[in-house]
Structure 1
Amino acid sequence: MTTPLIEVRGASRRYDGGPPALDDATLTVTAGEAVAIVGPSGSGKSTLLNLIAGLDRPDAGTVAVSGTRVDRLGEAGAARYRRSTVGMVFQFFNLLDDLTVADNVTLPARLAGMARGPARRRADELLEVLGLARHAGTYPGRLSGGQRQRVAVARALVNRPPLLLADEPTGALDSAAGQDVAELLRDLNAEGQTVVVVTHDPAIARSCTRRTVRLVDGRIVADDRATAGAAEESAR
C-alpha cells in the first residue's frame, strides 16, 4: 500500500468558542495527486489548508505530511517544515515589492541555507520554464497579475518541495489569467508535482485537478475522483 503524502485524521478546529471551522475532517492524498478543495465561503477550505501547511494546529485529530506530524511542531519546527516540504501560493501573491523578481524567487532558498549562486541558478531555471526569464530584474509592481502569480509559483517551487499548496490562486486574477495559472498547476502536476488547490471556482477545479473534495460547514461531504466533466459537476 502506498504511504500517503498527506494524512489528516479526525481534525477539528474552532475559533473563539464559535462553531467548528473544521469538523472531524479525514483526508489522505498520495504523492503525485492533484486535489481541489471546494466549498462555499466559510466552509473550512482555508482552515484545512492551513493545518496541512503548519500555519495552524487542530484542536483535535492529527495532521501528518511526508512522515512529519505537523500538528506536533512548534513554531521553529513548523518554519523548517514549510521550507523543506511545502511550497505555498496565495491569492494576493505576497511578493516583496522592493525586491526584483529573481530576488523574490531566491529568497526561500537563501532562507533554507542555499548559497547565492545555486539559488540564483535555480531561480533562473524556474523563470525560464515559466516564461518569465526576461523579467528577472523587474520589480513585481511592473508585472500583470498573472505574471506576478507565476513569480509566486516559481518562489513556491524553488526549494523543490514535495507538496504545493495554493489558496485561491486565481482569486485576484481575471478569467483569462486565472485559466493560465490553472493550466500551469495542471502542467506541474503532469510532471509529478503533488498539488492541493483551494478554490471557490468549479472551472478552476476542473481545469487543474481530477479529484474534488467538497466541504460544507466544516465537514467533508464529498470526495470524488472523476473525469474533468464530472469534477465540475461535483464542485457545484
Structure 2
Amino acid sequence: MQSTATSPIIEIRDVNKTYDTDRPALAELNLEVRGGEALAVLGRSGSGKSTLLNLIAGLDRPSQGTVTVDGLRIDRLTEAGSAKYRRERVGMVFQFFNLLDDLTVSDNVLLPAQLAGMPQGRARSRAAELLDQLGITRHARAFPGRLSGGERQRVAVARALMNRPPLLLADEPTGALDSASAADVRELLVELNRAGQTILLVTHDTALADACASRIIELSDGRITRDVLSPVAL
C-alpha cells in the first residue's frame, strides 16, 4: 500500500487556524500527502482533526498559511470555486452516510455527476461500474433505508468516487457501524488504496488506522505529535 507516486497531492504550509478561543485549533502545521498514500489522522476530540479535514475539503480557510490540493490553492478560492473544487477533485465519506433517503441507490450515486454536468450516458455507465466494483449492483433500485450500515457506506463511497476525484476524504467512516460492517468498510478502503486511490482518513479508531493506512499522524492541541508508517506499510 505504499505510495509509488512522488508528487504531493496535499501540501499544507505554516497553517494556523484560530476561532474565538485563546487556544488555536491548528498551530504552525506543515503536512504533505503524496499521491497513492492512505493517511490516517488520529487524535482526541478537540485535537484539530475536524479542522484539518475542513481546510482540506475547502469548507473552511486557515487564519494563516496555505493549503494546496492537487496543485490548486484552495485557501484562496471563492465560495463558488470551493464548491467546484469539491465536485471535481474531492470525494467525501461521512460517519452517518449523508445519503438522500428519497432517492434510490443508483440516483444517490449519480448525483455528483449531475451536479458536475457529466453527460447522462457517461454518468450512468460510471455509476454502473462503481456499483459493480463495490458489490452493490443488486441494490441499485433500492432505497438507502432498506440497506445495512455497511451497504449504505458502500453507496456513500461509490457516490464519493463518481467524478473520479484524486482525493478521497473519510470522516469516521466506521463510527456508526457494527463490527461486521466496520470490517467490511475497512476492507473496501484497503482495496481502493491498493488500486491507487489517495485517501485521507480521520478517525478515533486506531484499529481502522492500522488496517487501512500506509501512514499515520496524530494531532494534539492542533500540532502533529507523531508521524509514522503504519504496520501495513512496514
Specify the TM-score bucket, using the shorter chain as the normaliser.
over 0.9
Cα distance in structure 2, aligned partners of 1:216 and 1:20: 11
Q: Deviations over 1:196-232 (max 9, x none)?
A: 10010010001111200100111111110242398xx
In structure 2, the partner of 1:196 is 200
* Residues 64-79 of structure 1 aligned to structure 2 (within 5 Å): 64-79=68-83
Cα distance in structure 1, aligned partners of 2:30 and 2:233: 25
In structure 2, the partner of 1:29 is 33
Q: 1:62 to 1:124 in 2, by over 3 A?
A: same
In structure 2, the partner of 1:210 is 214
SS at match of 2:8: coil
Aligned AA (2:31): L
In structure 2, the partner of 1:155 is 159
In structure 2, the partner of 1:61 is 65
TM-score, normalised with respect to structure 1? 0.94
Q: Sequence identity, in percent?
A: 65
Cα distance in structure 2, aligned partners of 1:124 and 1:141: 20
Cα distance in structure 2, aligned partners of 1:110 and 1:93: 19
SS at match of 1:20: coil
Runs of 4+ in 1 over 2 A off after TM superposition: 226-230
In structure 2, the partner of 1:39 is 43
Q: How many residues align?
A: 230
* Residues 1-236 of structure 1 aligned to structure 2 (within 5 Å): 2-228=6-232
Cα distance in structure 2, aligned partners of 1:106 and 1:159: 9
Aligned AA (1:25): L
Cα distance in structure 1, aligned partners of 2:75 and 2:21: 20
Aligned AA (2:154): R
Which ranges of structure 2 fall in alignment gaps of 5 or more residues? none
Contact 1:206 1:229 (C-alpha < 8 Å) held by counterparts: no
RMSD (Å), alpha carbons? 1.4
Which ranges of structure 1 fall in alignment gaps of 5 or more residues? 231-236
Cα distance in structure 2, aligned partners of 1:228 and 1:193: 16
**Per-residue deviation at 1:17?**
3.4
